[in-house]
Chain A
Amino acid sequence: MTGRWPGRAAGPLSAVALLALLMFAGCSRAVEAPPAASVPLPAAVAASAPATVITDIATWKHPTKAVFDKYKVTLKAVTVRDKYATFQVEFPFDPQTQPNAARLQALCLDLLKANGSWNYALVSAQDHLEIDVSWDKAARKISIDNHPV
């Protein structure tokens, strides 16, 4: 797994395309932003698409990993459903307090960039919390919402 979410539709690859894909594997921005209208909602996604679960984080390669490292957030697993990633994480800080709000927001924005502007969720079992980050390209608006899990 090298930066592209599993389950993406892929046609037959030519040798040149395959070589290009291999060359770009692990690059800093491996997934492109989808048009806002096609961004799937978490609830709709959860109900429909099959999931790919990545637990071998050590060997998994993706630009978001560097962001988690930067903020000292432990990534425990990634679940991908129809391009929507849910990151199971462990925060070294309480993600719900005011003194940590700026840090959390910076993390969310850096992750959104590293994730190619695809919407995603962070889930912290320790904090019983899910943080949904969504990007509305047309309105140039990023929403950061949380709810208990």
Chain B
Amino acid sequence: MSRHRKHALHHANHSAANAQFIAQASTAAVQSEIATGTPAAITIAQAILESGWGKHHIGSANNYFGVKAQRKGDAVTWGSVATGYVDVDTREHFKGKDVVVSQPFRSYTTMADSFTDHGQFLADNGRYRQYLKDYAANGDARAFARGLQKAGYATDPHYAELLIGIIDKYKLDQYDVTRPPAAATPAAVPARRLP
């Protein structure tokens, strides 16, 4: 097989896997928008970025957005949507020695639960409240992406552009439940009387 053909085949497989992920994610994202008001297009684009097209979701925890569980002393809580938690250990270098950094993450039964909990996190968080209100009024997912960046969702200065680029490339706004208000048609504008 020629190199060009191998590349084309790899691209086709990649595209098929991405399309499959979007198909799965869109169902979950629409459910999340209905429950929490978070734009479905944004949720899908964030899932693509944060889980690497669904490849990284903390294993069986089905956690696509790295949502943490809460621990105070020995008590661990995980909100009303998740069903438990997993401790995730990462290796770090601390003061010249290898150490383990341990953090608890929520675990979910399904992808849809993970998406809804993420939407609920945004809806409950004061940082994003105004942008969600705006989205409910104008149905503009791109404006919401810019709002996320302003509110500090990510420190990457290109985060909003990144989300919008994904939304445009994969036409994700077709999944948004909230629609922009219909533009005024010429017929709706009263005719101006000539003097």
Contacts and interface: CB of A to CB of B under 8 A. Distances in A.
Contact of B155 (A93, A140, A148): A93
B135 interface: no
A1 interface: no
Interface in A93-149: 93-94, 96-101, 103, 105, 109, 112-113, 117, 126-128, 132, 139-148
B102 interface: yes
B103 to A, nearest CB: 5
A15 B94 CA distance: 36
A145 B95 contact: no
B101 A109 contact: yes
- Most chain B beta-carbon contacts within 10 A, residue among A91, A97, A117, A141: A97
Given A43-B73, A147-B72, A148-B70, A99 B153 contact: yes
Interface string B5-45: 00000000000000000000000000000000000000000
Contact of A109 (B94, B100, B125): B94
Contacts of B103: 143-145
Q: How large is the interface on A (under 10, 10 to 19, 20 to 34, 35 or more residues)?
A: 20 to 34
A147 B71 contact: yes
A101 B70 CA distance: 15
Q: How large is the interface on B (under 10, 10 to 19, 20 to 34, 35 or more residues)?
A: 20 to 34
B82 to A, nearest CB: 14
A65 to B, nearest CB: 20
A44 to B, nearest CB: 9
A144 to B, nearest CB: 5
A94 B103 CA distance: 17
A101 B155 CA distance: 10
Interface of B: 49-50, 65-68, 70-73, 77, 90, 92, 94-95, 97-104, 121, 125-127, 151-156, 159
26 contacts: A92-B155, A93-B153, A93-B154, A94-B125, A94-B151, A96-B121, A96-B125, A97-B153, A98-B50, A99-B49, A99-B156, A100-B152, A103-B155, A112-B94, A113-B95, A126-B127, A132-B72, A139-B100, A140-B100, A141-B102, A142-B94, A145-B71, A146-B68, A146-B70, A147-B70, A147-B77
